Amino acid sequence: MPSTTTPPSSSATQRSHFDAAAAQWDQRPMSQQLAAVPAYFLEHLPWSAHEEVLDFGAGTGLLAAALAPRVAQMTALDSSSAMLQVLQDKNVPNLRLQVGDAVASGLPGRYHAIVSCMALHHVADIGTLLRVFADALHPGGRVALVDLYAEDGSFHGDNAAKGVQHLGFDPQALQALAEQAGLQDIAFTDILRVQRGNDRSYPLFLMTGYKP
């Protein structure tokens, strides 16, 4: 992809970072800003009581906890067991927790929708990830994925230590990968701007698409 990438970090390094941060994750200023994302999902995207939904890179449940009451079954997938333990302690209904690596092992089921917030930039092989998503969707199923537009590396700062694989994304390049994976009707929406420090803001996109 044309967006700048950092040197690859091992999955073990990523897990270590997120495991260590899990207990205080929801109290971070960034987590509090991202709380606007599930509200947008609930207001602007369709959800049905019969649907099975996967939250990829669910973390402590920003999306999963909000969407689970609206659907039949929510699966929260993350590589960090410590993050999922924080989510488990929230006693969210209709929620299944799954520790795993979607690129390496695939997904544990079939879904009507796959959602994600700020997880894509931690995955080195986005093309494979999107193919895994498409393969796991029922016909007519959809993705709703939130992440950063291409940035200069200042969003995280210590990118390697945090397992950052992409410094945001160029929409045209990401759309091309999604279409190659078998998704259609790809659309991008500016969903939020988040602040880092006193003078930097970073725009986030919502990418939606469907499986024929």
CATH of the domain at 91: 3.40.50.150
CA-closest candidate to residue 129, choices 160, 102, 156? 102
pTM over 0.75: yes
Residue 127 lies in a domain: yes
Residue 1 lies in a domain: no
Q: What is the pLDDT of residue 161?
A: 82
Q: Is 181 exposed, middle or buried (0-12, 13-18, 19+ CB in 10 A)?
A: buried
Q: What is the pLDDT of residue 155?
A: 93
Q: What is the pLDDT of residue 6?
A: 38
Residue 101 lies in a domain: yes
Residue 55 lies in a domain: yes
Q: What is the pLDDT of residue 25?
A: 66
The total of structural domains in the chain comes to 1
Residue 205 lies in a domain: yes
Q: What is the pLDDT of residue 3?
A: 42
Residue 2 lies in a domain: no
Q: What is the pLDDT of residue 1?
A: 44
Residue 173 lies in a domain: yes
Residue 87 lies in a domain: yes
- Listed as ranges, residues in the chain with pLDDT below 50 are 1-10
CA-closest candidate to residue 15, choices 61, 64, 82? 82
> What span, in angstroms and rounded, lies between the C-alpha atoms of 114 and 107?
11
Question: For residues 68 and 95, is the Cβ–Cβ distance under 8 A?
Answer: yes
Range of the domain at 151: 11-210
Question: For residues 190 and 171, is the Cβ–Cβ distance under 8 A?
Answer: no
Q: What is the pLDDT of residue 22?
A: 75
pLDDT digits (tens, 9 = 90+) for 136-152: 999 999 999 999 999 99
User: Angle at which helices 11-21 and 81-88 pack, to 10 degrees?
Assistant: 30
Dihedral angle over CA of 196, 10, 88, 31, nearest 10: 0
